[in-house]
Structure 1
Amino acid sequence: MKPISILAGAFAALSLSFSAASADTRAIYTISNISVDEEAQNTRQAEAEAFATAKVEGLQRLVRKITLPEDRDGIGNSFYSYATANELASAVDVDNEKRSSTVYRADLSVVFNPVRVRSRLQQLGVPYVDRQSPPSLIVPVSEDSSVLEDWREAWPRADRGALNPYVTGLSFYKATDNWSAVSSEVRASGASDAVFAELSGAEGSYRVRLTRVSGGDSMVVGMTGAVATIEDAMLAATEYLDTVWKRQAIVRSSERTTSSATVRYSNLQTWAKLRAALSSSALVSDFQVDAISRDGALVTFRYAGDDTRLAGELRQRGVILTREPSGWVMESALGG
């Protein structure tokens, strides 16, 4: 592994941007890299048709992004009409534009209006998630050294618009590395945990095994289906992480359980992070602090789902939830 000391400066800007990643609504509602190629009687008409195509495709991709397959099955094709897409879109950003007298080509990004999209999905009774998980450090690894460099290069430096936003690691790791190996880079990047993305297979049948590492332990997230190319494998891994987050964060019932816990920490900075993680959890409501000292606090809250689901969602936010004889105890997965 390369010396970790060089990483702090390289990650400084990314760390700042990821500090507010979970609140970046515009990033979630922006669908980028929509390639259009339209031909019409004149360039103005071709451009209008290209924008219309992009808005419809963008709406389809946005709905896939923030909902689960079983929930969007009942939406119906009429929802993806140009009239609906145009109503819900706020802006179109243009890149790599090329035009002639009859042809318009470009890469477009469509920004959708969060309030209008939420309203339409609520009217249809479709559950959705537009709140991001805490960011992860993606660690691309592979036992096949011949594909490792291509696998690392397939990942963008960061993706702030994903539901599970991430920054890609700069150092080289092995699939067998543990928390002690990656913790310094996780902290330098502003992430809350590391996700090892282990590529296996060969051209035409690549798979990615995803393992989440934080606070000294690890948990297998799952494995993607087989895809044809390394680029497809990266996209499949990103989508898999987003889907796992959606299944954790979507709340289908109004039933809530009231509970309390002891929060342990060694400094006020860690307490601030723990409090922010708890109060911003999609499963937690009515969070309040009942007592506080320099190394601990007593909190009460209500939560949706069962204990296992709550523990999993909080762990992704960097909080370890354990049951002791005295009750629930919460600590930072990063220490402190």
Structure 2
Amino acid sequence: MRPIFAAICLFLVSPALAVADDPYTILGVSIDATGSNALDAQTIAMRRGQAMAAQRLIERMTLPEDRVGTPLDFGSAGAIDSIFDASAIAELISGLQIDNEQRSATRYLGELDVNFDRRAVVRLLTSYGVPFVESQARPTLVLPVYEAGGQFYLWDQNPWLSAWTSRSYAHALAPMIVPGDSAARSILSARDALALDEAGLREMASLYGVSRIAVLRGQERDGVRRMGGFLVSFDAGAEMAVDTWGPETVYGSWRDGAMSFVVGRENAWKREAIVRNTSTEEMRITVIYGGLTEWQSLQAAVTGASLVSDARLDAISRDGALMTVSHRGALEQLMSELAERGAALEEHPGLGWVVRSAF
């Protein structure tokens, strides 16, 4: 792995990629270009790679229908490098890094990781009036079960699991976690996962600190790959909730199937979370907690929510606090974002709007 420095050329804008699981990072952009000499090939490859990363980021943060009629409608306006020049794209970037670098006298190849400046991206999207999502969904633990010859595999002999571990989905709008340590192996078998063994799934959720698990079954017959399964969620004080997902045909490799699932979850989250009403509303909330640690966690969930523009602490006691919160978007969107951050916003018959731990 090799950091790229700005001194090389105009397009190399930052010394290294910041390590952060945020949605403004695009990983694994393949670059390959030829030129009249080695530097020319590298410059062309980097310019194309940064443009592809910028387009992927904008497509990640927005919905296609919201880009229609703007220069960001890549379907009709063309790729982003035909709309903006290289210097405009470079202004969106805060850091980058290159992996698997190969070069010759006239060719340059590699994989590019690009970290974008959130403020610059927000300015660009706002200038064109394109609504965008402002926060990630809560992480999902993925259990990929592979069926072959009437047998089911979760931990070994599992190309479906290998597809998930071959790349990171921590930067996605719908972040995915793939288990792999010895502790996880001792908790669930493939058949336990498919049978939705509640005790085992709850233990896995606790081990990885999540409240959602996707049990995804993959099988290949006569050269056709299919995937489907269950989306399991655990909320505070509630029974295990299960939704069926799929089945769907996998077009391409198992890795393509994994990406298809992630993109589908991202699109579902965008349709739920994108704010179209930008007016600000004010509300009083009571935060209920059992101790200092829980209070600090709930306070961080409220004050750190992207929809919350201001949060004032009005009073505090050993087991509760009063806050005045200003927020954008619909109340349902605020409730959804807080739930993703581990805080449940609900109406109490005596206290009004209260916030408590979601799980």
Pairwise TM-score range, normalised by the shorter structure: 0.7 to 0.9
Q: Which residue of 1 aligns with 2:354?
A: 329
Q: Which residue of 2 aligns with 1:45?
A: 40
Q: Which residue of 2 aligns with 1:239?
A: 263
Assess if the C-alpha contact under 8 Å between 1:25 and 1:131 holds in 2. Answer: no
- Counterpart selection for 1:54 from 42, 49, 62: 49
Q: Which residue of 1 aligns with 2:30?
A: 35
Structure 2: gaps spanning 5 or more residues: 1-17, 72-76
Please give the alpha-carbon distance, in whole angstroms, between the structure 1 residues aligned to 2:196 and 2:353: 30
- 5 Å matches for 1:113-192? 113-141=117-145, 145-146=151-152, 148=154, 149-156=158-165, 159-170=169-180, 171=184, 172=188, 174-177=193-196, 180-189=199-208, 191-192=209-210
The Cα of 1:91 is off from its aligned counterpart by 4.4
Please give the alpha-carbon distance, in whole angstroms, between the structure 1 residues aligned to 2:281 and 2:229: 34
Q: State the structure with more CA Rg.
A: 2
The Cα of 1:25 is off from its aligned counterpart by 6.5
Q: Deviations over 1:109-152 (max 9, x none)?
A: 23333333222221111122353344343333467744643222
**Which has the larger share of helix?**
1
Cα distance change, pair 104–142 in 1 and its aligned pair in 2 (3 A): closer
Q: Which residue of 2 aligns with 1:206?
A: 226
Please give the alpha-carbon distance, in whole angstroms, between the structure 1 residues aligned to 2:198 and 2:130: 38
The Cα of 1:63 is off from its aligned counterpart by 0.8
Q: Which residue of 2 aligns with 1:80?
A: 80
Q: Deviations over 1:130-179 (max 9, x none)?
A: 53344343333467744643222222385332223332234235145376
Q: Deviations over 1:248-288 (max 9, x none)?
A: 33211123443333333222211211121122223334333
**2:212 corresponds to 1:194:** yes
The 10-residue stretch of structure 1 (160-169 or 300-309) with the greater mean CA deviation from structure 2? 300-309
Q: Which residue of 1 aligns with 2:7?
A: none
- Counterpart selection for 1:287 from 303, 308, 311: 311
Q: Which residue of 2 aligns with 1:19?
A: none
Q: How high is the sequence identity, in percent, across the aligned residues? A: 31
Please give the alpha-carbon distance, in whole angstroms, between the structure 1 residues aligned to 2:262 and 2:122: 23
Cα distance change, pair 167–310 in 1 and its aligned pair in 2 (3 A): same
- Counterpart selection for 2:335 from 311, 329, 333: 311
Cα distance change, pair 282–92 in 1 and its aligned pair in 2 (3 A): closer
- 5 Å matches for 1:90-109? 90-109=94-113
Q: Per the alignment, in what secondary structure is the counterpart of residue 49 of structure 1?
A: helix
Cα distance change, pair 112–139 in 1 and its aligned pair in 2 (3 A): same
**2:285 corresponds to 1:261:** yes
Cα distance change, pair 289–175 in 1 and its aligned pair in 2 (3 A): farther
Alignment-mate amino acid for residue 329 of structure 1: V
Q: Per the alignment, in what secondary structure is the counterpart of residue 174 of structure 1?
A: helix
Please give the alpha-carbon distance, in whole angstroms, between the structure 2 residues aligned to 1:88 and 1:305: 26
The 10-residue stretch of structure 1 (266-275 or 301-310) with the greater mean CA deviation from structure 2? 301-310
The Cα of 1:205 is off from its aligned counterpart by 4.8
Q: Deviations over 1:16-47 (max 9, x none)?
A: xxxxxxx9778433322122222233222221
Using the size of structure 2 for normalisation, the TM-score is 0.73
The 10-residue stretch of structure 1 (266-275 or 218-227) with the greater mean CA deviation from structure 2? 218-227
Using the size of structure 1 for normalisation, the TM-score is 0.78
Aligned residues: 311
Please give the alpha-carbon distance, in whole angstroms, between the structure 2 residues aligned to 1:298 and 1:239: 39
Cα distance change, pair 177–328 in 1 and its aligned pair in 2 (3 A): farther
Q: Per the alignment, in what secondary structure is the counterpart of residue 57 of structure 1?
A: helix
Assess if the C-alpha contact under 8 Å between 2:33 and 2:45 holds in 1. Answer: yes
The Cα of 1:54 is off from its aligned counterpart by 0.7
Cα distance change, pair 197–40 in 1 and its aligned pair in 2 (3 A): same
Q: Per the alignment, in what secondary structure is the counterpart of residue 206 of structure 1?
A: strand
Assess if the C-alpha contact under 8 Å between 1:179 and 1:213 holds in 2. Answer: no
Q: Which residue of 2 aligns with 1:12?
A: none
Alignment-mate amino acid for residue 214 of structure 2: F
